Chain A
Amino acid sequence: QVQLVESGGGVAQPGRSLRLSCTASGFTSSSYGMHWVRQAPGKGLEWMAVIWYDGSDKYYLDSVKGRFTISRDTSKNTVYLQMNSLRVDDTAVYYCARMRTGYHSGWPYFYFDSWGQGTLVTVSS
């Protein structure tokens, strides 16, 4: 059974750092790309970052480039999100999600197929 469990959330002051973890079970996470997606209170989903299955590629939302870093430790089946220089508007529930690849007419497409339960990050002075 596929399971993703996020941890590491909490309260941080503006300008400080937090590292989130997403531990996978029920599948080999090194075979899948992994995303971080967040949801601010009362708001919709916002994609943050993705790391390719082999770590070869990483992409970020423009507003977090240079502040957030996605990484993975395949030996621990875990993906991380290092968040530095936190801002009040980073307050949100952070979810990790697995990326699956489908094929349509021979063309690959990527979609989110499994999500964790989320971890709450509150940035406040």
Chain B
Amino acid sequence: DIVMTQSPLSLPVTPGEPASISCRSSQSLLHTQGHNFLDWYLQKPGQSPQLLIYLGSNRASGVPDRFSGSGSGTDFTLKITRVEAEDVGVYYCVQTLQTWTFGQGTKMEI
């Protein structure tokens, strides 16, 4: 199985400030077709996970443009330009190249 490693695991943030989460995979997630099979989800307190970013850098429908995904191969980053209070929760990266594997999760709190 592909192993996903996120950092940091805990991320204190200040509203209005930027935030960044790193995700590394044990194998390249870059498919020969040119897409990186890496998604980002946010699990808000008391809610189910919701898709934020798919194929490495594409925002899902309805996701604010303060969220962005970047990276390729084995190194990926989720960035929030200006954190809002509603962004708190646990962020997961997920590889979808070979079945599915979640990262450990990054708990973002204000």
Contact = CB atoms under 8 A, between A and B. Distances in A.
Main SS class of interface, B: loop
Interface of A: 35, 37, 43-47, 50, 59-62, 95, 97, 102, 104-105, 107, 109-115
Interface of B: 1, 33, 35, 37, 39, 41, 43, 48-49, 51, 54-55, 58, 60, 90, 92, 94, 96, 99-105
Contacts of B60: 111
B41 A109 contact: no
A112 B42 CA distance: 12
Contacts of B51: 111-113
Given A45-B49, A115-B49, A104 B100 contact: no
7 contacts: A44-B103, A44-B105, A45-B102, A47-B101, A109-B54, A111-B39, A111-B96
Contacts of A97: 48
Given A46-B102, A112-B41, A112-B51, A104 B96 contact: no
A61 B99 contact: yes
